[in-house]
Structures are given as structure tokens and as C-alpha cells.
């Protein structure tokens, strides 16, 4: 098991692929940022176990990470840091629910009020028109 995890941690192509996916980029996106290379070329890079430091630096810039961050990327560290960040930041389901309530429901309430005002204005106009006809 240790050999498998050791291979994954040292496989630079897999690190590039994982970071690319975490950043929400496609192979085509990364290829464009690397000067217009094809997604097939990116696929070959992601399959390579070793990549020279100069190329790795170019890829790091294209991915928006540091050279050291790409070279030493370890998914376990990312998960550990993410969990610890959220535990220490005071974010919990109650806070998230309150924020969602604010973001979602307030605009809906305002929209409902706007429609009700428009409806009452239209109703008044219809009443005025019917009273003129009589």
C-alpha cells in the first residue's frame, strides 16, 4: 500500500491533472494557457511520471499555483488543511443556512413585493377604466 501511495505522490503528471481538475480547468483550457498546445499533448503530460523542472514551472504558472506547490502537491495535505480551515473558521451548517436564507429568500421577498405592487397598480387602472365606462 505504501508503494502505491508513494508512486502517486511522486507522479508529477497525476499532480498536474488533479490540480487542473481542482481549479475547474479542462485539458483544453490548460493547453491554451501553455501557448495553445493540444489537449492530447496535455493528456501525455498528465500521464508522464517525471517532468523537468522548467516545464513544471510553466505548468504551475498556467495552473495559477507556485512551482513548489505543484511539485509537493499531496491531496491528503489539501484535505487536511481544508478540514482544519473550516473547523477553525467557525463555519457550520447554521451559518451556511442563515447565509443561504439571506441570499435566496430576501431577493424573492423583494420580487414578490414588487409583483404585488404592480398587480395592485394594474387593478387600480382596471377599476378606473370600468368606472369611466359606467
Residue 33: which residues within 8 A CB-CB, separation 6 or more?
62, 63
pLDDT for residue 33:
93
**CATH assignment of 2-87, among 1.10.260.40, 3.10.450.240, 1.20.990.10, 3.90.1150.10:** 1.10.260.40
Residue with cell 491531496: 75
Spatial separation of the C-alpha atoms in residues 10 and 25, rounded to whole Å: 22
pLDDT digits (tens, 9 = 90+) for 44-66: 999 999 999 999 999 999 998 88
pLDDT for residue 44:
94
pLDDT for residue 128:
84
pTM: 0.54
Q: Is the pLDDT of residue 100 over 80?
A: no
Residue 10: which residues within 8 A CB-CB, separation 6 or more?
49
Domain boundaries of the chain, sorted by first residue = 2-87, 92-133
pLDDT for residue 80:
67
pLDDT digits (tens, 9 = 90+) for 14-38: 889 988 888 899 999 999 999 999 9
- Alpha-carbon dihedral sign for residues 35, 39, 44, 50: positive
Amino acid at each position: 500500500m505504501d508503494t502505491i501511495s508513494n508512486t502517486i505522490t511522486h507522479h508529477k503528471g497525476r499532480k498536474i491533472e488533479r490540480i487542473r481538475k481542482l481549479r475547474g480547468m479542462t485539458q483544453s483550457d490548460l493547453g491554451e494557457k501553455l501557448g495553445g498546445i493540444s489537449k492530447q499533448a496535455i493528456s501525455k503530460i498528465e500521464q508522464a511520471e517525471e517532468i523537468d523542472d522548467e516545464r513544471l514551472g510553466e505548468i504551475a504558472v498556467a495552473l495559477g499555483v507556485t512551482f513548489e506547490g505543484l511539485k509537493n502537491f499531496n491531496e491528503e495535505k489539501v484535505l487536511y488543511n481544508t478540514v482544519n480551515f473550516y473547523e477553525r473558521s467557525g463555519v457550520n451548517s447554521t451559518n451556511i443556512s442563515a447565509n443561504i436564507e439571506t441570499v435566496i429568500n430576501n431577493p424573492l421577498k423583494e420580487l414578490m413585493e414588487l409583483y404585488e405592487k404592480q398587480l395592485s397598480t394594474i387593478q387600480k387602472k382596471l377599476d378606473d377604466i370600468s368606472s369611466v365606462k359606467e
